[in-house]
Structure 1
Amino acid sequence: MSETNESVEKQKEVMEKYDPESGVRELTGKIAKIVFILLLSFSVFQLLTSTVYQVQAQILRSVHVGFGLVLIFLLYPATKKNRSKGKIAWYDIGLAILGGGVGLYWPLFYEDIVLRAGDMTQLDFYVGALAIVLVLEATRRAVGIPITVIAALFLAYAYWGRQMPSFLVHRGVDLDNLVQSMFFTTEGILGTPIAVSSTFIFLFLLFGAFLVKTGVGQYFNDLAVALAGKRTGGPAKVAIFSSALQGTISGSSVANVVTSGSFTIPMMKKLGYRREFAGGVEAAASTGGQLMPPIMGAAAFLMIEFIGIDYWSIAKAALIPAILYFTGIWIMTHFEAKRTGLSGLPDEDIPDKKEVLKKLYLLLPIVAIVVFLASGVSVMRSALYGILTVILVGLLREEKFRKIYVATFAAGFVGFGIYGFLQGGFSILDSIIAGTLVTIIVSYLFDGNLKDTIDALVSGARTALGVVAATAAAGIIVGVVTKTGLGLKLANSLVTLADGQILITLFFTMIAAIILGMGSPTTANYVITSTIAAPAVILLGVQDLAAHLFVFYFGIIADITPPVALAAFAASGVASSEPIRTGLNAAKLAIAAFIIPYMFVLSPELLMIDTNVGEVSWILFTAITGMMAIGAGLVGYWFRKVEWYERIPAVLGGLTLIYPGLWSDIIGLSIFAILLALQFLVKKDGLGVPVVKTTRQDA
């Protein structure tokens, strides 16, 4: 077996172990073709209902869930040991048929269900109960046990409300009422999470699948090596840079780790990095990818519905915290590399920078998405235009047809421009879209290049299955919270426990978000934490966006927080390192992530809320300076070794710089200046005795 094949097998093994969404059957023959057609149909259905064919919300969501259930039961076996078997068990075929029936129930009986206005028939009850059971089982298979258990516990809480402790007690929800609210309203399985999954999220997953087909993932690695490979600790910085880029299109910390980590971790180990440190760098950087706009693990689109603000405001607010997060990891990695004497990559491992930069056009789709969103284009249209841009960029990679495609695009652009002008209005955006569509059509007629498009549609639908299950289960959780008022009860309990103190409430909320986020994918993670933990912070007067980003951050950071740190464990699988130590290294490197959320809650200017450039610049300056001091204190190296009695004030000074306030900034900057001066004025002799530098030779 070649080294490349070994690498692919290693990736597959790690993904199946730590990412339930990757544990699919290896199908062959007719059943593989059937599943392929179903996946393609799923994507085509979603594209049609997003563009030319509008359907009722309940019908769209129900069919979306139905497709997900059918495909999950066909692709995901009941147990891990059956993954390698190409055959599908009879009971899985039966479950898939039942799942399809559940998905078609709303389209077939829509008018009757609406006219009954909440009065269920016996058949309604059985279908609704079956939907709940199938969603829980599909979630267990495709997403994992943690969120399945949480959803089941919430259902139990709704039913046995009268038996709960006093601070959680409610009058209880009878079985008929529970089933009715879970499947025959828009507050349960067919609620907000699945609404977002069936619209925004699916289209952006397709966007990511098309990007992968253009080879943009490998380009992220090449660009990162070209720009950061020669620097001190180059391979680690490549991991940070490439993972930040990868995270803009990835919806999973684990997938991000395995995709970029299979390239960066061996590179780090080759140059002498400890296994646990190499895995920790990749895990911390890959997890941060979920915090990086524009996609943010699809949670940004859920925030639109939950908070009720536009997408651009969310992406803009998340940008500075994300930059601070990666800056913190970069600083920690830089000091560690200096402490251990690790250099950059050798020249032969660095790609030609000019050749790499020539392919910058591969990033155009991501730039296009941001431009569309910033210009006020709706989220769904931005995703659709983004997909068209990816296809166009993919065509431009084919050198033998590039001139033809450029000429075709120009003809389409000019032709529509003239048509628009004659009709009384010229739109640059419409002309670009027209040119793109004409180019795509000509390419298919001229080159017959349909395979990559079909593969991307199938890949996008397959990626969406875990999200469908997770958001359907999350809908159960949201439905119970809405029905019982649990969110407010838990919020009041947290605030009471913290005696109304904002910092203590934030700390308790952080712990709750980390625990709730363990083992959950990004979308489900955010739904759970925003429903249960965020209300406690909002109750104390914190702005909705800051509160939701606070719990979102800590829900994501659960992926690198032992004892259940899936991203770190996946990195340890690639690095062949000890999992808990890898997790501890990742948490240490990502220390900024444990501080930044407190910063933007206490100082909303970081989220660019009601602020100006001067305020934001000062906060950024003090925050980065503070993280530099904390990094030096934790790693134990700056310009020279930092002794223990210097490390403590370094960390304390860094914290005071990060905490917003004039006096805290003055104290922090004073400590920072003193420590910086000592780094240059005092060196250590061989016995570790301080020696004051007095001459240039000593320096």
Structure 2
Amino acid sequence: MDNVVKIDEEKHQSENEQADVLEGKRILDPKSFGFRMIAFIAFCWSFFQLFVVLLPINDVFIRSIHLSFAIALAFFMYPMFRTKKTMSSIPFWNYILAALGSLSALYIFIFYNELNARSGAWLQLDVWAAIAGIILLLMASRRALGPALAIIAIIFLGYVKFGQVMPDLIAHKGASIEKMMGQMFLTTEGIFGVPLGVSASYVFLFVLFGALLERAGAGQYFINLAYAALGRFDGGPAKASVAASGMMGIISGSSIANTVTTGTFTIPLMKKLGFPGYKAASVEVAASTNGQLMPPIMGAAAFIIAEFLGMDYAGVIMAAAIPAFVSYIALFYIVHLEAKKLGIKGELKDRLPKVWDVFVSGLHFLLPVFYLMYTLVVLRMSPQRAAFNGIIVLILIMLVQPFVKSLLAKNGIGFTQNAKTAISDIIVGMINGAKNMVPIAIATGVAGIVVGSVTLTGIGLILADVIETLSGGYIVAVLALTAVVSLILGMGLPTTANYIVMASLTAPVILGLSGDLGYLVPAIAAHLFVFYFGILADDTPPVGMAAYAGAGIARSDPIKTGLQGFAYDIRTAILPFMFFFNSKLLLIDGVNPDDPRDPAGWVWITNPLEIGLIFLMAVLGMLAFSSFTQRWVKVKTNIIEMLALLAITVLLMVPNVVADLFKLPHEYVSYAIGVALYAMVYLWQSQRYKKYKVIV
């Protein structure tokens, strides 16, 4: 274990500060009043969220208090402008803004009975309180998330108010200020609606679980395990980066945090072995961005998908599993091809720790993860209860861990010191969990404005007409337009907010237009479609923040890094098109023709052999597409081989479409042709590779 690269506390703190700087957070002196106040508020927030699991209260109360904590922390943690002074201290006016913002969010809690009694007949006090609350929420959003989401919300508010003067194509009768404020702030149709409710009930607990797991040491364990297992292969550190980022995706909902955590270790190693700086950073960025595809958290969007569709959360995980794992396997292969093209070998075996030793050293980190998944998938507990139980198991492990380490190391550390370490780790984990939740809670609150606007104006139907007109009635064009809109909107939005906006606007459009065109697809296919393209925005120039984080570590050009990262992620971009037309990739074999939006009408695939075949064919199809984009199998591909690889991708990933198009007796025929064609390309490449080696 001595060979395992360890991150000590000082380095770990440095990484956290680097992530904080990239996300615009203040860097305060740990001994300052401001730092301790933020820590106290964050701890109280985590304690509150655990408390309401044991003693449930009114959902509206929970949402109100949840947002109140988030707004207060946003004003304390994020400066209005990034100057040397504001980044290292909290100016006095932020205390005023935090207090006002927190009180405004509590308005619906404090006057709950009165607001219910006069529903629709709002007082001037209600209206002004709502206006102040929305303004303060948008100010907090600009600080915590950048200007993009706040601008989008303002545009929607303007559209709601001034719909009567809009162009005829998108015009509506408009709404009064009283009606707008009631919809957006004084009821559960806007800010305090479903997205914030999911954030307050499910998402917080899973983010807290991840923060505690990371504080316990699981993040470094995943990095060490990936490096020990894959470091000796060609391009080993890059492959370790992919594996570590995938595992970190289980506990992290942020592509930036993922990039900084694993990239600090993997990017320098990749550069040392011969990867150009921008490619080393791009591999890490692509891997970290795709970490949000990984169940069970999926960048916090999994819970909102389940809530929007009214389906079991375990069903979302099942549907998302194959595309997520196929995407990661393909990224492994891309890294392998890059290593082969660059002639990069792995680390010497004797310089690496033994895989078994590393694996055994962190088995206790896997226990709460597996227990969480067991309670979710097998016992079918609610996500809230499953996450709570997982947190309790993890806290018990964290209480015991220092004592076991001390006993094994025989370092003579006493009971008191070990107890202090355990309690300190738990408290810091709870504080970090709450801090990590601030952008998510703010994003879901602001996204509620968009949801409320869509409901109030009926813009979804208008947008459907616009997209149908632009697409000419072609379903591929509908999907392509939606993908482009998701990418554009995602350039500056956190994934969760981007998903909520697109799920409110375009997912219903996709379902409606596809139904009109004769395509009966499960609703989750449309929702995962917009979710995937929202994720890809994190490494798409010019605003891809994950690319900036990776470029900062590699000291490379962020635009070049982002472009290369997006090139690696092209394989992820085609997956949504594939599972839209072939729902078997989501383990769904058809829908109820009477109501394709009804989750109860979906026919789930449960045969293990069929699931294995679908997964294997999807993997081969994505490997073929990866070779197509990289123009390499064993040597550089020619034009005929590239066309063959593209055909293989279609044959293996949408065999139902091929079977219908060419009147094949069964989808398995498409599989057989695709595999045979892939074998021919590989043999052809092998012959060319032998000739190449003779020449060299």
Is the contact made by 1:333 and 1:589 (CA closer than 8 Å) also made in structure 2? no
Paired residues of 2:617 and 2:671 also in contact (CA < 8 A): yes
The aligned counterpart of 1:222 is 224
Structure 2 Cα separation of the partners of residues 215 and 197 of structure 1 = 25
Which of 261, 270, 273 aligns to 2:272? It is: 270
TM-score normalized by the length of structure 2? 0.88
- Residue 361 of structure 1: how far off its partner (Å): 2.4
- Does residue 303 (structure 1) correspond to residue 282 (structure 2)? The answer is no
Cα shift readout 1:251-298 (whole Å, capped 9, x = no counterpart): 111111111111111110111111111111111111111000011111
Matched residue SS, 1:638: coil
2:530 aligns with 551
Q: Is the 8 A contact 1:14 1:574 kept in 2?
A: no
One of 193, 202, 205 as aligned partner of 1:203: 205
Q: Structure 1 residues 673, 451: CA separation in 2 closer, same or farther (over 3 Å shift)?
A: closer
Match of 2:461 in 1: 488
Q: Write the letter of the residue equivalent to 1:42.
A: W
Partner in structure 2 of residue 394 of structure 1: 398
Structure 1 letter corresponding to 2:511 = I
The aligned amino acid for 2:574 is: I
Instruction: Please state how far the C-alpha of 1:247 moved relative to its aligned partner.
Output: 0.3
For the Cα contact (< 8 Å) 1:280–1:568, is it kept in 2?
yes
Question: Secondary structure of 1:330's partner?
Answer: helix
Q: CA deviation at 1:620?
A: 2.8
The structure-2 alpha-carbon separation of the partners of 1:451 and 1:567, relative to structure 1 and needing over 3 Å to count, comes to same
**Residue of structure 2 in register with 1:283 after alignment:** 285
What is the Cα deviation at residue 17 of structure 1? 5.3
Distance 1:517 1:444 in 2: 49
Specify the alignment match of 2:685 in structure 1.
679
Secondary structure class of the residue paired with 2:83: helix
Asked if structure 1 preserves the Cα contact closer than 8 Å seen for 2:571 and 2:626, the reply is: no
Separation (CA, whole Å) in 2 of partners of 1:183 and 1:79: 27
Q: What amino acid does structure 1 have at the position aligned with 2:77?
A: L
Match of 2:577 among 577, 585, 598: 598
Match of 1:34 in 2: 37
Alignment of 1:491-570 (within 5 A): 491-539=464-512, 540-541=514-515, 542-570=521-549
Letter in 2 for 1:639: K
Partner of 1:68: 70
Per-residue CA deviation, residues 28-70 of structure 1 (Å, 9 max, x unaligned), is 5333333322222212222212212x32222221111111112
Q: Distance in 1 between matches of 2:88 and 2:208?
A: 27
Letter in 1 for 2:298: M
SS at match of 2:618: helix
Q: Does 1:90 align with 2:63?
A: no
Moved more, 80-89 or 604-613: 80-89
Deviation, 1:489, is: 1.7
Output the CA distance in 2 between the equivalents of 1:572 and 1:594. Answer: 22
Q: Distance in 2 between matches of 1:272 and 1:634?
A: 21
Query: Aligned in 2, Cα 1:642/1:92: closer, same or farther, shift over 3 Å?
Result: same
Asked whether the equivalents of residues 324 and 596 of structure 1 are also in contact (C-alpha less than 8 Å), the reply is: no
Q: 1:283 to 1:44 in 2, by over 3 A?
A: same
> Structure 1 residues 649 and 116 mapped into 2: Cα distance closer, same or farther (>3 Å)?
same
Question: How far 1:445 moved relative to its partner?
Answer: 13
Is 1:102 aligned with 2:104?
yes
Deviation at 1:589, TM superposition (A): 1.7
Distance 1:670 1:397 in 2: 53
Match of 1:583 in 2: 562
1:655-674 superposed matches below 5 A: 655-660=650-655, 661-662=658-659, 665=671, 668-674=674-680
C-alpha contact (below 8 Å) 2:447/2:500 kept by paired residues: yes
Could you tell me how far 1:115 is from its partner in structure 2? 1.1
Structure 2 residue aligned with 1:384: 388
Give 2:553's aligned residue. Answer: 574
Identical columns (%): 38
Provide the C-alpha distance between the structure 1 equivalents of 2:541 and 2:614, rounded to a whole number of angstroms.
Answer: 31
Distance 2:423 2:622 in 1: 50
CA distance in 2 between partners of 1:532 and 1:600 (Å): 20
Q: 1:95 to 1:634 in 2, by over 3 A?
A: same
| Residue equivalent to 1:439 | none
- In 2, Cα distance between equivalents of 1:86 and 1:232: 44
Shift of 1:614: 4.6
CA deviation vs aligned residue, 1:135-189 (integer Å, no higher than 9, x gap): 0000000111111111111111111111212221111111111112111110111
Q: From the superposition, tell whether residues 525 and 218 of structure 1 become closer, same or farther in structure 2 (CA, over 3 Å).
A: same
Residues 70 and 100 of structure 1 are in contact (CA less than 8 Å); yes or no, is this contact kept in structure 2? yes
Deviation at 1:558, TM superposition (A): 1.2
Q: Render the CA deviation track for 1:597-627: whole Å, top value 9, x for unaligned.
A: 1111101111111334454444333332222
Change (3 A) 1:46 1:675: same
Q: Deviations over 1:504-528 (max 9, x none)?
A: 1111111111112112112112111
User: Which of residues 303, 320, 323 is equivalent to 2:322?
Assistant: 320
Matches within 5 A, 1:347-386: 347-358=349-360, 359-374=362-377, 375-386=379-390
Q: What is the Cα deviation at residue 349 of structure 1? A: 4.0
Q: Greater CA deviation, 319-328 or 332-341? A: 332-341
What is the letter of the counterpart of residue 335 of structure 1? L
Q: Residue 419 of structure 1 corresponds to which residue in structure 2? A: none
Query: Aligned Cα RMSD in Å?
Result: 2.7
In structure 1, C-alpha distance between the alignment counterparts of 2:417 and 2:358, rounded to whole Å? 31
* Structure 1 partner of 2:4: none
Equivalent position amino acid for 1:36 in 2: A
**TM-superposed deviation, 1:444:** 9.8
- Match of 2:636, SS state, is coil
State how far apart, in whole Å, the 1-side matches of 2:416 and 2:500 are: 41
CA pair 229-175 structure 1, distance change in 2 beyond 3 A: same
Q: Bigger CA drift: 533-542 or 322-331? A: 533-542
Q: Offset of 1:392 from its aligned partner? A: 2.2
Work out whether residues 19 and 255 of structure 1, in 8 Å CA contact, stay in contact via their aligned partners in 2: no
Change (3 A) 1:192 1:400: closer
Q: Which amino acid aligns with 2:536?
A: I
Counterparts of 1:680-699 in structure 2 under 5 Å?
Answer: 680-683=686-689
Q: Which residue of 1 aligns with 2:596?
A: none
Amino acid at match of 1:337: A
Q: What is the CA–CA distance in structure 2 between the aligned matches of 1:50 and 1:445, rounded to whole Å?
A: 31
* 1:646 and 2:641 matched: yes
Corresponding letter in the other structure for 1:385: N
Distance 1:226 1:168, change over 3 A: same
Task: Report if aligned partners of 1:25, 1:77 keep a CA contact under 8 Å in 2.
Answer: no
User: Within 2, Cα distance between the matches of 1:100 and 1:563?
Assistant: 34
Contact 1:231 1:343 in 2 (8 A): yes
| Equivalent residue, structure 1, for 2:162 | 160
Residue 49, structure 1, aligned to residue 55, structure 2: no
Letter in 1 for 2:462: K
- The answer to whether residue 453 in structure 2 is matched with residue 476 in structure 1 is no
Between 576-585 and 371-380, report the one with greater CA deviation: 576-585
CA distance in 2, matches of 1:618, 1:36: 50
The CA deviation at 1:347 is 3.0
Return 5+ residue gaps in structure 2 as ranges: 1-6, 409-414, 516-520, 589-602, 663-669
Query: What's the CA shift for 1:127?
Result: 0.8
From the superposition, tell whether residues 606 and 350 of structure 1 become closer, same or farther in structure 2 (CA, over 3 Å).
Answer: same
Moved more, 267-276 or 572-581: 572-581
The answer as to whether partners of 1:207 and 1:386 remain within 8 angstroms in 2 is: yes
* More displaced stretch, 129-138 vs 192-201: 192-201
Determine the C-alpha separation between the residues in 2 that align with 1:220 and 1:683.
Answer: 36
Displacement of 1:14 in angstroms is 4.9
- Consecutive unaligned residues of structure 1, counting only runs of 5 or more, are 405-442, 689-696
Aligned partner of 1:674: which letter? M
| Secondary structure of the structure 1 residue equivalent to 2:311 | coil
